[in-house]
Amino acid sequence: MSRAADSTERPDTSPSAPPTKHYEPLGRPFNRLWIGSTTSALGDGLMFSALPLLAASLSHDPRVVSLLEAASAVPWLIFGLHAGVIADRLDHRRVMYVTDILRLVTVGILAALVAFGGLSVASLLALVFVLGTLGTVFGSASPAMVPSLVPKESLARANARIAGSGTTARGFIGPVAGSVLFGFIAWLPFLLNALSFGASATAVAGLPRHDRPREPANRQKMSAAARDGVRWIYRTRQVRVLALATALLSIATAAFMGCFVLFVLLTLHLPQFAYGILIAVFACGGLSGSFVAASTSRRLGLRWTALLSAFLGGVLFIGIGAVPVWPVTALCLLLLGVVTMVWNISTVTMRQTVTPRSMLGRVSSLFGMIGVGTGVIGAPVGGLIAKELGLPTAFIMAGGLGLIASLTIMLWYPADAGSASPGSEAPVDSTDTASTQEATR
Instruction: Give the tens place of pLDDT for each residue, 192-248.
Output: 999 999 988 988 887 777 555 444 444 556 677 777 778 888 888 888 999 999 999
- Asked which of 164-168, 274-278, 360-364 is least confident by mean pLDDT, the reply is 274-278
Instruction: Tell me the CA end-to-end span of the chain in Å, nearest whole number.
Output: 25
Q: Which has the closest alpha carbon to 297: 346, 344, 343, 341? A: 346
pLDDT at residue 134 above 80?
A: yes
| Non-local CB neighbours of 173 within 8 Å, separated by 6+ positions | 42, 45
Residue 70: the pLDDT is: 65
pLDDT at residue 4 above 70?
A: no
Residue 96: the pLDDT is: 86
pLDDT at residue 179 above 80?
A: no
* CA atoms of 50 and 186, how far apart (whole Å): 8
The answer to whether 261 touches 379, Cβ cutoff 8 Å, is no
Angle between helices 92-116 and 188-205 (to 10 degrees): 160
Other CB atoms within 10 Å distance of the CB of residue 92: 28
Residue 60: the pLDDT is: 62
The answer to whether 217 touches 441, Cβ cutoff 8 Å, is yes
Sign of CA dihedral 36, 169, 99, 142: positive
- Planar angle of CA 5, 150, 436, nearest 5 degrees: 125
* CA atoms of 393 and 391, how far apart (whole Å): 5
Chain-centroid distance of CA 410 in Å reads 23
* CA atoms of 182 and 404, how far apart (whole Å): 42
In this prediction, residues 324-338 reach a mean pLDDT of 94
Residue 45: the pLDDT is: 78
The answer to whether 345 touches 218, Cβ cutoff 8 Å, is no
Q: What is the largest CA-CA distance in the chain?
A: 67
Residue 438: the pLDDT is: 32
Q: Which has the closest alpha carbon to 88: 215, 207, 204? A: 215
| Non-local CB neighbours of 276 within 8 Å, separated by 6+ positions | none
Residue 336: the pLDDT is: 94
* CA atoms of 311 and 308, how far apart (whole Å): 5
The answer to whether 88 touches 212, Cβ cutoff 8 Å, is yes
Q: Please give the domain boundaries of the chain with CATH numbers for all domains.
A: 24-212 (1.20.1250.20), 228-440 (1.20.1250.20)
Residue 351: the pLDDT is: 86
Output the average pLDDT for the chain: 78
Exposure letters 264-298 (e unless 16+ CB within 10 A, then b): beebbebeeebbeebbbbbbbbbbbbbebbbebbb
